[in-house]
Amino acid sequence: MDEKSCHYMAIDLKSFYASCECRERGLDPMDAYLVVADGERTEKTICLAVSPALKAYGVPGRARLFEVVEKVRKINYQRVKLYGGQPLVGKSC
C-alpha cells in the first residue's frame, strides 16, 4: 500500500511582531527596548509583542500597557539608583 508522507514544520520566532517593528526601524530586535501596542487605546490594552531585551528585564510578553509602563519605571529607578545607568527612554514613532 502506498502511503502519503506529510511533513510539518513549526518555527518559533522570538517576539515576532516586535522583531518586525525593530527591523522596520533599523534596530536589532535582540537589543532594542520595544513594545508593540495601540497607544491610542487605554493603558489597559494588551500588548501585541514585547522585544526580547525588555523580556530580559522581566516584562511579560502579553502584558497590559499600564503594566509595561510601571515595569519600565521600576527598571529605570533601579538602573539610576543602583548603577548610575541611563534610563530606558525614547519613542520610535
Q: What is the pLDDT of residues 70-90, one digit of tens each?
A: 999 998 888 788 877 666 666
> H-helix or E-strand containing 52?
helix 52-55
Spans of all domains in the chain: 16-83
pLDDT in tens, 41-75: 888 999 999 999 999 989 998 899 999 999 999 98
pTM: 0.70
- Third-level CATH fold of 16-83: MutS, DNA mismatch repair protein, domain I (3.40.1170)
How many Å separate Cα 26 from the centre of its chain? 16
Q: Burial code of 27-62, b = ≥16 C-beta within 10 A, e = fewer?
A: bebeebbbbbbeeeeeeeeebbbbbbbbeeeebeee
- Asked if residue 1 has pLDDT above 60, the reply is no
In one-letter notation, the amino acid at residue 6 is C
Residue with cell 526601524: 25
